[in-house]
Amino acid sequence: MRTRYFRDIKGRPTIKAVVYERADHSIPRSEIDIDARKICARLADQGHEAYIVGGAVRDLLSGRIPKDFDIATDASPSRVKRLFRNSRVIGKRFRLVHVYFRDGKIHEVATFRAPESGDRNHVFGTLNEDVMRRDFSLNALYYDPREETVIDFVNGVKDIRKGVLKSVLPLSTSFSEDPVRMLRAVKYAAITGMKVSGPVGRRIRKEAPLLATASLSRLSEELYKILKSRNSEIIMRLMDRYKLLEHLLPNFGDNKSLREATFLSLAKLDQKMISAEVSRGVMIFHLCGEMLEAHGAFERQGRKEPLYLDVVHTLKGLLKPLVQPNRDVEEAVRLIFIDRGFKIPRKRPRHPEVRVGESEGGDRPRRRRYRHRKLKDQND
Protein backbone atom coordinates (compact mmCIF):
# COMPACT_ATOMS: atom_id res chain seq x y z
CA MET A 1 0.00 0.00 0.00
CA ARG A 2 1.32 3.40 -0.95
CA THR A 3 0.21 7.01 -1.24
CA ARG A 4 -0.21 8.87 -4.50
CA TYR A 5 -0.73 12.61 -4.85
CA PHE A 6 -2.73 14.37 -7.56
CA ARG A 7 -2.60 18.04 -8.50
CA ASP A 8 -5.42 20.40 -7.57
CA ILE A 9 -6.84 23.16 -9.80
CA LYS A 10 -3.85 25.34 -8.92
CA GLY A 11 -1.41 22.66 -9.95
CA ARG A 12 -0.31 21.78 -6.43
CA PRO A 13 0.13 18.05 -5.58
CA THR A 14 -2.16 18.13 -2.56
CA ILE A 15 -4.89 15.59 -3.36
CA LYS A 16 -4.02 12.30 -1.69
CA ALA A 17 -5.16 8.83 -2.67
CA VAL A 18 -4.28 5.48 -1.16
CA VAL A 19 -3.12 2.94 -3.73
CA TYR A 20 -3.72 -0.67 -2.72
CA GLU A 21 -1.26 -3.04 -4.34
CA ARG A 22 -2.13 -6.59 -5.37
CA ALA A 23 -1.06 -7.93 -1.97
CA ASP A 24 -3.27 -5.38 -0.16
CA HIS A 25 -6.63 -6.21 -1.72
CA SER A 26 -8.53 -9.41 -2.40
CA ILE A 27 -9.31 -8.91 -6.10
CA PRO A 28 -7.91 -11.65 -8.34
CA ARG A 29 -7.27 -10.35 -11.84
CA SER A 30 -8.91 -13.47 -13.24
CA GLU A 31 -12.24 -12.33 -11.78
CA ILE A 32 -12.24 -9.24 -14.00
CA ASP A 33 -14.23 -9.78 -17.19
CA ILE A 34 -11.78 -10.45 -20.01
CA ASP A 35 -13.47 -8.03 -22.43
CA ALA A 36 -13.42 -5.27 -19.81
CA ARG A 37 -9.68 -5.91 -19.41
CA LYS A 38 -9.22 -5.68 -23.18
CA ILE A 39 -11.03 -2.32 -23.31
CA CYS A 40 -8.80 -0.94 -20.55
CA ALA A 41 -5.69 -2.34 -22.23
CA ARG A 42 -6.48 -0.75 -25.60
CA LEU A 43 -7.19 2.61 -24.00
CA ALA A 44 -3.94 2.39 -22.01
CA ASP A 45 -1.97 1.43 -25.14
CA GLN A 46 -3.29 4.61 -26.77
CA GLY A 47 -2.01 6.74 -23.88
CA HIS A 48 -5.23 7.01 -21.87
CA GLU A 49 -6.12 6.24 -18.27
CA ALA A 50 -8.73 3.47 -17.89
CA TYR A 51 -10.15 1.86 -14.77
CA ILE A 52 -12.85 -0.58 -13.70
CA VAL A 53 -15.13 1.47 -11.45
CA GLY A 54 -18.18 1.45 -9.24
CA GLY A 55 -20.17 -1.61 -8.33
CA ALA A 56 -17.75 -4.12 -9.85
CA VAL A 57 -14.90 -3.04 -7.56
CA ARG A 58 -17.27 -2.88 -4.58
CA ASP A 59 -18.58 -6.39 -5.23
CA LEU A 60 -15.14 -7.91 -5.81
CA LEU A 61 -13.84 -6.44 -2.55
CA SER A 62 -16.93 -7.87 -0.80
CA GLY A 63 -16.49 -11.34 -2.28
CA ARG A 64 -19.49 -10.98 -4.57
CA ILE A 65 -19.78 -11.66 -8.31
CA PRO A 66 -20.32 -8.39 -10.25
CA LYS A 67 -23.14 -8.13 -12.76
CA ASP A 68 -21.50 -5.34 -14.76
CA PHE A 69 -18.00 -4.04 -15.34
CA ASP A 70 -18.19 -0.31 -16.01
CA ILE A 71 -15.12 1.59 -17.15
CA ALA A 72 -14.00 5.19 -16.56
CA THR A 73 -11.38 6.89 -18.72
CA ASP A 74 -9.90 10.27 -19.61
CA ALA A 75 -10.64 9.59 -23.30
CA SER A 76 -13.57 11.55 -24.74
CA PRO A 77 -16.64 9.64 -25.98
CA SER A 78 -15.75 10.38 -29.61
CA ARG A 79 -12.21 9.10 -29.01
CA VAL A 80 -13.54 5.88 -27.46
CA LYS A 81 -15.90 5.49 -30.42
CA ARG A 82 -12.98 5.73 -32.84
CA LEU A 83 -10.97 3.13 -30.92
CA PHE A 84 -13.80 0.58 -30.78
CA ARG A 85 -15.72 -0.15 -33.96
CA ASN A 86 -18.18 -2.28 -31.99
CA SER A 87 -19.49 0.71 -30.03
CA ARG A 88 -21.86 3.64 -30.15
CA VAL A 89 -22.31 6.86 -28.19
CA ILE A 90 -25.53 7.10 -26.16
CA GLY A 91 -27.14 9.55 -23.77
CA LYS A 92 -28.38 13.12 -23.87
CA ARG A 93 -27.54 14.46 -20.40
CA PHE A 94 -24.23 12.62 -20.21
CA ARG A 95 -22.64 11.03 -23.24
CA LEU A 96 -21.48 7.48 -22.65
CA VAL A 97 -20.13 4.78 -24.93
CA HIS A 98 -21.52 1.25 -25.05
CA VAL A 99 -19.08 -1.35 -26.37
CA TYR A 100 -20.90 -4.42 -27.73
CA PHE A 101 -19.71 -8.02 -27.93
CA ARG A 102 -21.01 -11.07 -29.81
CA ASP A 103 -22.46 -12.83 -26.78
CA GLY A 104 -24.77 -9.87 -26.10
CA LYS A 105 -22.47 -8.42 -23.44
CA ILE A 106 -22.29 -4.62 -23.19
CA HIS A 107 -19.64 -2.64 -21.35
CA GLU A 108 -20.27 1.00 -20.50
CA VAL A 109 -17.36 3.42 -20.88
CA ALA A 110 -17.69 6.87 -19.29
CA THR A 111 -15.36 9.84 -19.51
CA PHE A 112 -14.16 11.40 -16.23
CA ARG A 113 -16.48 14.24 -15.17
CA ALA A 114 -15.62 17.49 -13.45
CA PRO A 115 -17.48 18.66 -10.31
CA GLU A 116 -19.25 21.43 -12.25
CA SER A 117 -20.74 18.89 -14.65
CA GLY A 118 -24.48 19.28 -14.16
CA ASP A 119 -27.79 18.46 -15.82
CA ARG A 120 -27.23 20.76 -18.79
CA ASN A 121 -23.47 21.06 -19.11
CA HIS A 122 -21.31 17.98 -19.37
CA VAL A 123 -17.78 19.01 -18.38
CA PHE A 124 -15.03 16.43 -18.68
CA GLY A 125 -12.53 16.23 -15.84
CA THR A 126 -9.68 14.26 -14.32
CA LEU A 127 -9.58 11.10 -12.22
CA ASN A 128 -9.46 12.94 -8.89
CA GLU A 129 -12.32 15.21 -10.03
CA ASP A 130 -14.43 12.29 -11.18
CA VAL A 131 -14.40 10.73 -7.73
CA MET A 132 -16.33 13.71 -6.37
CA ARG A 133 -19.18 12.94 -8.76
CA ARG A 134 -19.68 9.53 -7.11
CA ASP A 135 -22.37 9.19 -4.47
CA PHE A 136 -21.02 6.84 -1.79
CA SER A 137 -17.52 5.78 -0.83
CA LEU A 138 -18.13 2.11 -1.63
CA ASN A 139 -18.76 3.14 -5.28
CA ALA A 140 -15.84 5.57 -5.55
CA LEU A 141 -13.03 3.06 -6.12
CA TYR A 142 -10.93 2.65 -9.28
CA TYR A 143 -9.25 -0.62 -10.24
CA ASP A 144 -6.40 -0.65 -12.74
CA PRO A 145 -6.38 -4.14 -14.33
CA ARG A 146 -2.90 -3.68 -15.81
CA GLU A 147 -1.23 -2.62 -12.56
CA GLU A 148 -3.69 -4.65 -10.42
CA THR A 149 -4.10 -1.72 -8.04
CA VAL A 150 -7.09 -0.05 -6.40
CA ILE A 151 -7.02 3.75 -6.16
CA ASP A 152 -8.98 5.10 -3.20
CA PHE A 153 -9.50 8.83 -2.55
CA VAL A 154 -12.28 8.54 0.05
CA ASN A 155 -11.43 5.60 2.34
CA GLY A 156 -13.87 3.42 0.44
CA VAL A 157 -11.88 0.24 1.00
CA LYS A 158 -11.88 0.81 4.77
CA ASP A 159 -15.63 1.55 4.74
CA ILE A 160 -16.31 -1.71 2.89
CA ARG A 161 -14.17 -3.66 5.33
CA LYS A 162 -15.95 -2.01 8.26
CA GLY A 163 -19.34 -2.61 6.64
CA VAL A 164 -20.46 1.05 6.76
CA LEU A 165 -22.08 3.06 3.96
CA LYS A 166 -20.87 6.67 3.89
CA SER A 167 -21.49 9.58 1.57
CA VAL A 168 -18.77 11.10 -0.61
CA LEU A 169 -20.71 14.31 -1.17
CA PRO A 170 -21.70 16.75 1.59
CA LEU A 171 -24.93 15.54 3.17
CA SER A 172 -26.17 19.13 3.35
CA THR A 173 -26.63 19.09 -0.44
CA SER A 174 -26.32 15.50 -1.67
CA PHE A 175 -29.95 14.34 -1.36
CA SER A 176 -31.50 17.72 -2.10
CA GLU A 177 -29.42 17.84 -5.27
CA ASP A 178 -30.54 14.33 -6.28
CA PRO A 179 -33.25 12.66 -4.11
CA VAL A 180 -32.83 9.35 -5.96
CA ARG A 181 -29.54 8.94 -4.09
CA MET A 182 -31.58 8.08 -0.98
CA LEU A 183 -33.03 5.04 -2.76
CA ARG A 184 -29.58 4.07 -3.97
CA ALA A 185 -28.14 4.31 -0.46
CA VAL A 186 -30.75 1.94 0.94
CA LYS A 187 -30.37 -0.41 -2.02
CA TYR A 188 -26.60 -0.65 -1.65
CA ALA A 189 -26.85 -1.20 2.09
CA ALA A 190 -29.41 -3.97 1.69
CA ILE A 191 -27.55 -5.75 -1.12
CA THR A 192 -24.12 -5.64 0.52
CA GLY A 193 -25.30 -6.14 4.09
CA MET A 194 -23.57 -2.91 5.13
CA LYS A 195 -24.98 -0.54 7.70
CA VAL A 196 -26.08 2.95 6.74
CA SER A 197 -23.96 5.37 8.75
CA GLY A 198 -25.76 7.43 11.38
CA PRO A 199 -25.41 10.79 9.58
CA VAL A 200 -26.62 9.32 6.27
CA GLY A 201 -29.58 7.54 7.92
CA ARG A 202 -30.72 10.65 9.78
CA ARG A 203 -30.49 12.75 6.65
CA ILE A 204 -32.53 10.20 4.66
CA ARG A 205 -35.35 10.21 7.22
CA LYS A 206 -35.36 13.99 7.27
CA GLU A 207 -35.33 14.47 3.49
CA ALA A 208 -37.42 11.48 2.40
CA PRO A 209 -40.29 13.79 1.27
CA LEU A 210 -37.93 15.17 -1.41
CA LEU A 211 -38.65 12.03 -3.45
CA ALA A 212 -41.82 13.81 -4.56
CA THR A 213 -39.63 16.31 -6.46
CA ALA A 214 -37.56 13.70 -8.31
CA SER A 215 -37.99 12.80 -11.97
CA LEU A 216 -40.74 10.19 -12.34
CA SER A 217 -38.81 8.40 -15.07
CA ARG A 218 -35.75 8.07 -12.83
CA LEU A 219 -37.88 6.87 -9.91
CA SER A 220 -39.50 4.25 -12.14
CA GLU A 221 -36.10 3.16 -13.43
CA GLU A 222 -34.75 2.83 -9.89
CA LEU A 223 -37.84 0.87 -8.78
CA TYR A 224 -37.30 -1.69 -11.53
CA LYS A 225 -33.62 -1.97 -10.63
CA ILE A 226 -34.72 -2.81 -7.11
CA LEU A 227 -37.33 -5.33 -8.27
CA LYS A 228 -34.86 -7.14 -10.53
CA SER A 229 -32.00 -7.12 -7.99
CA ARG A 230 -33.00 -10.47 -6.44
CA ASN A 231 -33.01 -8.60 -3.14
CA SER A 232 -36.24 -6.64 -3.53
CA GLU A 233 -37.73 -7.91 -0.25
CA ILE A 234 -34.90 -6.72 1.99
CA ILE A 235 -34.50 -3.47 0.04
CA MET A 236 -38.20 -2.64 0.38
CA ARG A 237 -38.16 -3.49 4.07
CA LEU A 238 -35.22 -1.12 4.58
CA MET A 239 -36.95 1.56 2.50
CA ASP A 240 -39.95 1.21 4.79
CA ARG A 241 -37.69 1.60 7.82
CA TYR A 242 -36.24 4.84 6.47
CA LYS A 243 -39.68 6.26 5.50
CA LEU A 244 -38.93 6.14 1.77
CA LEU A 245 -41.58 3.64 0.70
CA GLU A 246 -44.45 5.94 1.66
CA HIS A 247 -43.11 8.62 -0.67
CA LEU A 248 -42.17 6.32 -3.56
CA LEU A 249 -45.50 4.44 -3.49
CA PRO A 250 -47.81 6.59 -1.36
CA ASN A 251 -50.86 4.42 -2.06
CA PHE A 252 -49.40 1.60 0.03
CA GLY A 253 -50.78 3.43 3.06
CA ASP A 254 -50.05 2.57 6.70
CA ASN A 255 -51.51 -0.95 6.73
CA LYS A 256 -48.76 -3.06 8.33
CA SER A 257 -50.36 -6.38 7.40
CA LEU A 258 -50.60 -5.25 3.76
CA ARG A 259 -46.94 -4.29 3.70
CA GLU A 260 -45.92 -7.61 5.25
CA ALA A 261 -47.96 -9.52 2.66
CA THR A 262 -46.31 -7.46 -0.09
CA PHE A 263 -42.83 -8.14 1.29
CA LEU A 264 -43.56 -11.87 1.30
CA SER A 265 -44.76 -11.65 -2.30
CA LEU A 266 -41.51 -9.88 -3.23
CA ALA A 267 -39.58 -12.71 -1.57
CA LYS A 268 -41.24 -15.05 -4.10
CA LEU A 269 -40.18 -12.70 -6.90
CA ASP A 270 -36.58 -12.83 -5.66
CA GLN A 271 -36.68 -16.63 -5.81
CA LYS A 272 -37.95 -16.51 -9.40
CA MET A 273 -35.20 -14.08 -10.37
CA ILE A 274 -32.52 -16.52 -9.21
CA SER A 275 -33.30 -18.99 -11.98
CA ALA A 276 -34.41 -16.63 -14.78
CA GLU A 277 -35.11 -13.04 -15.74
CA VAL A 278 -38.76 -12.05 -15.58
CA SER A 279 -40.77 -9.34 -17.32
CA ARG A 280 -41.83 -6.06 -15.78
CA GLY A 281 -45.40 -7.31 -15.75
CA VAL A 282 -44.37 -10.14 -13.44
CA MET A 283 -42.59 -7.65 -11.19
CA ILE A 284 -45.71 -5.47 -10.94
CA PHE A 285 -47.78 -8.59 -10.25
CA HIS A 286 -45.68 -9.39 -7.17
CA LEU A 287 -45.47 -5.77 -6.05
CA CYS A 288 -49.16 -4.88 -6.35
CA GLY A 289 -51.24 -8.05 -6.11
CA GLU A 290 -51.87 -7.73 -2.38
CA MET A 291 -52.36 -3.99 -2.65
CA LEU A 292 -55.13 -4.45 -5.25
CA GLU A 293 -56.90 -6.86 -2.91
CA ALA A 294 -56.70 -4.40 -0.01
CA HIS A 295 -58.16 -1.61 -2.15
CA GLY A 296 -61.18 -3.69 -3.17
CA ALA A 297 -60.22 -4.05 -6.82
CA PHE A 298 -61.77 -7.54 -7.00
CA GLU A 299 -65.16 -6.66 -5.56
CA ARG A 300 -67.73 -8.05 -7.98
CA GLN A 301 -70.77 -5.94 -7.05
CA GLY A 302 -73.28 -8.52 -8.23
CA ARG A 303 -71.17 -9.70 -11.18
CA LYS A 304 -69.65 -13.14 -11.58
CA GLU A 305 -66.22 -11.72 -12.29
CA PRO A 306 -64.47 -8.38 -11.56
CA LEU A 307 -64.22 -6.14 -14.61
CA TYR A 308 -60.81 -6.48 -16.23
CA LEU A 309 -60.51 -2.86 -17.35
CA ASP A 310 -61.59 -1.63 -13.91
CA VAL A 311 -58.73 -3.58 -12.32
CA VAL A 312 -56.27 -2.17 -14.88
CA HIS A 313 -57.47 1.35 -14.09
CA THR A 314 -57.20 0.73 -10.34
CA LEU A 315 -53.67 -0.65 -10.67
CA LYS A 316 -52.53 2.41 -12.63
CA GLY A 317 -53.93 4.60 -9.87
CA LEU A 318 -52.18 2.64 -7.14
CA LEU A 319 -48.81 3.01 -8.88
CA LYS A 320 -49.11 6.79 -9.08
CA PRO A 321 -47.24 9.07 -9.17
CA LEU A 322 -45.16 6.57 -11.17
CA VAL A 323 -46.46 6.01 -14.69
CA GLN A 324 -46.01 2.54 -16.17
CA PRO A 325 -46.50 1.38 -19.79
CA ASN A 326 -49.96 -0.06 -20.47
CA ARG A 327 -48.51 -3.37 -21.68
CA ASP A 328 -46.75 -3.97 -18.35
CA VAL A 329 -49.78 -3.06 -16.26
CA GLU A 330 -52.11 -5.20 -18.40
CA GLU A 331 -49.70 -8.14 -18.22
CA ALA A 332 -49.68 -7.84 -14.42
CA VAL A 333 -53.50 -7.82 -14.32
CA ARG A 334 -53.67 -10.87 -16.59
CA LEU A 335 -51.34 -12.72 -14.24
CA ILE A 336 -53.44 -11.66 -11.25
CA PHE A 337 -56.62 -12.89 -12.97
CA ILE A 338 -54.98 -16.23 -13.76
CA ASP A 339 -53.66 -16.55 -10.21
CA ARG A 340 -57.10 -15.91 -8.74
CA GLY A 341 -59.01 -18.02 -11.24
CA PHE A 342 -60.84 -15.13 -12.90
CA LYS A 343 -61.84 -15.26 -16.53
CA ILE A 344 -59.70 -13.13 -18.81
CA PRO A 345 -61.79 -11.35 -21.48
CA ARG A 346 -60.92 -11.84 -25.12
CA LYS A 347 -59.44 -8.93 -26.95
CA ARG A 348 -62.18 -6.78 -28.40
CA PRO A 349 -62.07 -5.78 -32.09
CA ARG A 350 -60.92 -2.25 -32.73
CA HIS A 351 -64.29 -1.28 -34.22
CA PRO A 352 -66.96 -3.33 -32.44
CA GLU A 353 -69.77 -1.71 -34.46
CA VAL A 354 -68.46 -3.10 -37.74
CA ARG A 355 -66.70 -6.45 -37.91
CA VAL A 356 -63.59 -6.72 -40.00
CA GLY A 357 -64.50 -7.49 -43.58
CA GLU A 358 -68.18 -6.47 -43.15
CA SER A 359 -69.88 -3.23 -44.16
CA GLU A 360 -72.71 -1.56 -42.27
CA GLY A 361 -75.23 -2.77 -44.83
CA GLY A 362 -74.38 -6.39 -44.22
CA ASP A 363 -72.42 -6.93 -47.44
CA ARG A 364 -69.15 -8.74 -47.08
CA PRO A 365 -66.73 -7.56 -49.69
CA ARG A 366 -63.88 -9.99 -50.16
CA ARG A 367 -61.17 -7.47 -49.44
CA ARG A 368 -58.25 -9.85 -49.49
CA ARG A 369 -59.41 -11.55 -52.69
CA TYR A 370 -60.07 -8.17 -54.35
CA ARG A 371 -56.63 -6.94 -53.39
CA HIS A 372 -55.06 -10.17 -54.65
CA ARG A 373 -56.99 -9.93 -57.96
CA LYS A 374 -55.97 -6.30 -58.40
CA LEU A 375 -52.31 -7.07 -57.91
CA LYS A 376 -52.57 -10.00 -60.33
CA ASP A 377 -54.13 -7.78 -63.01
CA GLN A 378 -51.34 -5.24 -62.54
CA ASN A 379 -48.70 -7.92 -62.95
CA ASP A 380 -50.37 -9.21 -66.12
Distance CA 77, CA 46 (A): 14
Whole-number Cα distances in Å, 262 to 98, 104, 127, 223, 245: 36, 34, 43, 15, 12
Give the single-character DSSP code of 361.
Answer: T
> Catalytic residue at 339?
no
Q: Enumerate residues 6+ apart whose C-beta is below 8 A from 331.
A: 279, 280, 281, 282, 284, 285
Active-site residue, from 70, 74, 270, 328: 70
Pairing of strands 195-196, 164-165: parallel
Environment class of 152 (CB within 10 Å of its CB; exposed 0-12, middle 13-18, buried 19+):
buried
Query: How many other CB atoms are found less than 10 A from the CB of residue 115?
Result: 14
| CA separation for the pair 185, 16 (Å, rounded) | 25
The secondary element (H helix, E strand) that includes residue 108 is strand 106-111
Q: What are phi and psi of 326, to 5 degrees?
A: -55, -40
- Respond yes or no: is residue 35 known to be catalytic: no
Q: Which of 135, 240, 270, 328 is catalytic?
A: 135
Longest dimension (CA), the chain: 88
Question: Is 103 in the active site?
Answer: no
As annotated, the active-site residues are 68, 70, 135
